[in-house]
């Protein structure tokens, strides 16, 4: 039987006898719920411990060591992308997503699901399916995540709708926009339908949209706000995500532009989250100077309720650009030492009137995540 219901049951249900036979330290059943998290150490050492805003990081195997020592919010880097979980149809690999979820559960940290709908790292097998089957598979994907991880804090429903929608018939491009209604009368019907599904499957979660190169570009901000307002009209969105990658925060755009666009996003009344911040570090001095130039504008903005770095150790996405804060030997770079003191209120942000004097933060280094 290969109906959506049968596949959902196979992906999410667990046999009680099988669970009874294996202890919590055994290898997890790939079709069962994630293993119970071990009790974790307190997170009092996290940079933003006790603050009103969280400061989190992407979670992945290279980023797992001492995660809660530094950060108090978890986003899976790749483990929650549909193509990583279900590369083969009906064969679910939850390993990396379970690890991120387990870290959040063990330390009592908020968890952001990244990501339900995107135009990258999607299952290749879905691209050639009839529209009706695509729709059934999308619903099955939503239901499987909701069943396995109950009570997710934040669900990133659609990632990069402006720059990378799931409309491409290529490697990992998804090609399933029509299964969600296509452009439709609004021009963005597929996004509205994705959020309707998310509200149905994640009724207690805060639903987010996410995009890159927004705050540096007033035109992109205006287009993004069109989508946000459509979602608001149906009560479908709870938060706005802006990524904050290094190629969007170079000195080509004054930080005053970022601040003004954050004002526009905040005027919706929705909280804004910086979801994938990285600051390149070709050398320690450049990285420190750029953290001091960039980070306070996001952190101090009243609409911004939290910031998530896109990794902090070697092995992160912008490895070649030196965006890590902790070296291979475990020592901290100066930018991390400053960031800790700044977030804790021990030092003030530098003046921004000389922001153009800092060199640009490196090359683009590829597409965002």
Calpha distance 199→135 (Å, rounded): 16
A 10 A CB-CB count for 283 gives 11
352 vs 292: CA distance, rounded Å: 9
Q: How far apart are CA 19 and CA 40, in angstroms?
A: 23
Q: Supply the DSSP string of 229-271, one letter for each residue.
A: HHHHHTT---EEEE---GGGSSTTS-HHHHHHHHHHHHTTS--
Give the torsion through C-alpha atoms of 148, 237, 197, 214, to 10 deg. Answer: -90
Strands (E), the chain: 54-59, 74-76, 112-117, 154-159, 206-211, 239-242, 272-277, 304-309
Catalytic residue chosen out of the listed positions 86, 276, 355, 369: 276
Check if 332 is active-site. Answer: no
List C-alpha distances in Å: 236 to 113, 195, 319: 17, 6, 36
Active site residues: 276
């Amino acid at each position: 039987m290969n109906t959506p219901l049968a596949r959902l049951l196979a992906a999410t249900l667990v046999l009680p006898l099988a669970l009874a036979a294996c202890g919590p330290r055994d290898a997890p059943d790939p079709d069962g719920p994630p293993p119970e998290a071990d009790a974790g150490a307190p997170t009092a050492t996290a940079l933003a411990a006790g603050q009103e805003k969280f400061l989190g990081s992407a979670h992945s195997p290279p980023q797992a060591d001492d995660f809660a020592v530094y950060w108090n919010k978890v986003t899976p880097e790749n483990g929650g992308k549909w193509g990583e979980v279900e590369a083969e149809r009906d064969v679910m690999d939850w390993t990396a997503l379970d690890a991120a979820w387990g870290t959040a559960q063990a330390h009592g940290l908020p968890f952001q699901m990244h990501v339900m709908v995107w135009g990258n790292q999607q299952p290749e097998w879905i691209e050639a399916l009839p529209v009706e089957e695509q729709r059934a598979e999308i619903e099955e994907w939503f239901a499987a995540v909701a069943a396995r991880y109950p009570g997710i804090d934040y669900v990133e429903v659609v990632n990069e709708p402006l720059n990378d929608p799931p409309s491409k018939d290529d490697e990992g491009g998804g090609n399933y926009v029509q299964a969600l209604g296509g452009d439709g009368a609004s021009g963005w019907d597929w996004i509205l339908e994705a959020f309707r599904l998310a509200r149905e499957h994640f009724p207690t979660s805060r639903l987010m949209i996410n995009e890159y190169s927004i705050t540096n570009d007033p035109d992109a901000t205006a287009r993004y706000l069109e989508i946000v307002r459509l979602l608001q009209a149906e009560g479908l969105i709870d938060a706005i995500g802006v990524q904050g990658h290094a190629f969007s925060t170079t000195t080509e755009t004054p930080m005053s532009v970022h601040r003004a666009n954050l004002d526009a996003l905040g005027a919706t009344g929705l909280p804004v989250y910086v979801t994938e911040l990285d600051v390149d570090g070709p050398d320690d001095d450049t990285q420190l100077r750029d953290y001091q130039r960039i980070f306070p504008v996001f952190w101090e903005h009243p609409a911004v309720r939290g910031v998530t770095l896109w990794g902090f150790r070697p092995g992160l996405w912008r490895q070649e650009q030196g965006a890590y804060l902790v070296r291979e030997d475990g020592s901290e770079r100066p930018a991390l030492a400053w960031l800790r003191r700044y977030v804790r209120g021990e030092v003030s942000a530098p003046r921004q009137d000389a922001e153009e004097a800092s060199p640009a933060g490196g090359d683009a280094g590829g597409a965002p995540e």
